[in-house]
Structure 1
């Protein structure tokens, strides 16, 4: 099987990395999408564009001769970086690593996905025609507009391969924690803290009570965590705060933890601890966990066998971060994550790609698709 050269892959990657595509930067995400549409059209894939108003457009790609593909490959185009980041620190190479915003999470994965299908078209066209590629635009913020499309595209598929990067040791992801986000909006009553503090009702105090109670819901042995990561309120140091707000991140390990935890959060916020304050609770558990189940294990074993044929020592791992893999896994569809190349330091300015993993992971993806299609 003839795979594109590392140089060819890096040229494609540089163009993608140097386009800002933060989740809320629709124009940038759509520019990345157009670059990928143009590339796939050269190998006979057509694009079905799902227009979005707030976020970037989602894209479904299939070979023009495809009939009923039963493999879904999922990759997101958005990053966590603000507009202007690519200009500040564009794509560059230092030694055996490539750097730049989104280089590993997950623009390098777009390169290996395209290169794998390009290679398959020459080596096994029927396998290439057995794939649907779904490019989403809002994974980094929980897939608010992509979830239904991911679930619809996953329905009935034999396997779903999610192109998040492999871990630093090259391992694939067979389980992920699920989670969600809540916002607590607390209203109190303002008063001068020196002249008549007794007339005030502190929203900050109420938020503090709720923060302590919410944190007590965490059970790290059971894989449940509740964290008020942002709190803010008040207008001046000598005023009893009449408003405060808390942002809450929650994580769960199994789906059966979701409903009890949601109910516990609602119960805590139903009654104020500080008299005459009120609380508005917004949010929900938005991403189910990706649980390591029989379907996942069976798919992993197939991929591991392919890896062995390439002399790749593959391992599996669990991670606390979320991804689009959770949506298809929760529907009982065999799903494996971390099929992208190897790198690290996602979401910060030291994010990197191990360059020599580009060809290796392209081969692994191509041969996995071929095996699943046989």
Structure 2
């Protein structure tokens, strides 16, 4: 088992076995009470933000949601700014807020959320539909609910006088669901703020296990891709396996099955998401679609494959690359292939600092009477903005709202989780900044 997985699983078992509730100090109890008192307004804020479509490509909608949260942060004494992206990137930009006292105490924090959703303007599903203690809507869990939790936690701290002499930055990105290219530009401001911070807390959706225990994220796999281009000798099908060779389709099948049998290891996945084969192949890279034509009595000369690759850390990536290249090089007669790789989101490695943050978060939760918090296996989460800052500072993710159906027309949020998550986050922030 890779060391990252072993560390996170070990910590989860230790937290469950050894965490003891100590209760909240009077100042912390006031913070928790402030969160509880504001719960109706938190739900109202979520509804107001959810009723604005903010699909990544709806630039006006992303900015409008940003303005909703900007007003909240302004009211809490943060200095806010909207960071535009280059016009040719086709992204709305990011909301950035900073607050720093004259004498900073404790850790310098970076809080992360995002304004965009996967739901573009023509997407099915309601913007907001209240259903008792839950609500359905586009992005209510991923992650407008998380943004609301940030505001609720910061408001409680401000009302309790606990924001003075703290250094806290907030970044709500406008393109988390489909980050703009080049990444060096779209994530430049985020990375620069991380360099001036000590800890990053991200408010992507919270996860619970089968027993109901809350889980947080100490590691995420990197996201990358592979391009596999296969060539064969075109000819009459009667010559296949003989003088005509095996053709591009059999070669592609050999390679993909070789990956399946010889490359897999815990935490590593690779998925051929698009494949086109025949004698006339055209791939539209920008839209990940294409056309292919051929005849049953003609040996195919071309196969084009584009795939996803996810790994826990760079050594695992390098092992996968090397083995995949070896398999590609073992060509069948009359065929050849070339493979290349592209990195996208860096890995969020499971580090001692991340595990310490989880321990502190779990203790805050336990002291507030909300139970211990365990660790999500890194392979169970997709990509997120925290991966751009995790190589620089201690990081913890999954502090957001609970729900289900993310990225689907049935996406929903458990409205009672707004209060629980905001209390956990506020107490953790309070303790980190003392």
1:172–1:317: 8 Å Cα contact kept in structure 2? yes
* C-alpha distance in 1 between matches for 2:238 and 2:63: 54
CA distance in structure 2 between the partners assigned to 1:22 and 1:243 by the alignment: 36
What is residue 167 of structure 1 aligned with on the other side?
207
Contact 1:23 1:141 in 2 (8 A): yes
Range with greater deviation from structure 2 (222-231 or 186-195): 186-195
Asked whether the equivalents of residues 404 and 413 of structure 2 are also in contact (C-alpha less than 8 Å), the reply is: yes
Instruction: Work out whether residues 178 and 290 of structure 1, in 8 Å CA contact, stay in contact via their aligned partners in 2.
Output: no
> d(CA) in 1 for partners of 2:329 and 2:426?
52
1:365 aligned counterpart, secondary structure = helix
Instruction: Tell me if 1:61 matches 2:97.
Output: yes
Give the TM-score taking structure 1 as reference length.
0.85
How many correspondences in the alignment? Answer: 370
Structure 2: gaps of 5 or more residues:
1-30, 279-291
Instruction: Report deviation, 1:307.
Output: 1.2
Residue 12 of structure 1, CA deviation: 1.5
For the residue of structure 1 that corresponds to 2:218, the secondary structure is strand
1:236 aligns to what? 293
The change in CA–CA distance for 1:32 and 1:371 in structure 2 (over 3 A counts) is: same
- 5 Å-filtered alignment, 1:73-222, equals 73-85=111-123, 88-126=125-163, 129-141=166-178, 145=183, 146-168=186-208, 169=212, 170-186=214-230, 202-220=247-265, 222=266
Pick closer, same or farther for the CA change 1:187–1:136 going to 2, 3 Å: farther
Q: Which sits farther off after the overlay, 130-139 or 149-158?
A: 149-158
The CA deviation at 1:34 is 2.7
Structure 2: how far apart are the matches of 1:77 and 1:225? 29
What are the superposed Cα offsets for residues 5-43 of structure 1, whole Å, 9 maximum, x if unpaired? 332122221222233333344343333223222332232
- Is 1:309 the counterpart of 2:367 in the alignment? yes
Q: Which whole-Å CA distance do the structure 1 matches of 2:332 and 2:51 have between them? A: 50
Change in Cα spacing, 1:267 to 1:121, as seen in structure 2 (3 Å) is same
1:286 matches 2:322: no
Instruction: Check conservation: 2:231, 2:248, Cα contact below 8 A.
Output: yes
CA RMSD of aligned residues (A): 3.1
Q: Which has the larger radius of gyration?
A: 2
Distance 1:327 1:200, change over 3 A: same
For residue 330 of structure 1, report the CA deviation from its aligned partner: 2.8
Structure 2 match to 1:223 = 267
Shift of 1:272: 4.8
Unaligned runs of 5+ in 1: none
Does the CA contact (< 8 Å) of 2:93 and 2:175 recur in 1? no
2-structure distance, mates of 1:218, 1:273: 19
- CA deviation after TM superposition for structure 1 residue 131, in Å: 1.0
1:177-216 residue CA offsets vs partner (Å, 9 max, x unmatched): 3332223244557668699998798443333233222323
Instruction: Write the distance in 2 (CA, Å) between the matches of 1:66 and 1:73.
Output: 20
The 1:227–1:204 alpha-carbon spacing in structure 2 relative to 1, beyond 3 Å, is same
Task: Output the CA distance in 2 between the equivalents of 1:78 and 1:335.
Answer: 22
Of 348, 360, 371, 2:420 maps to 360
Change (3 A) 1:369 1:188: same
TM-score (normalised: structure 2): 0.75
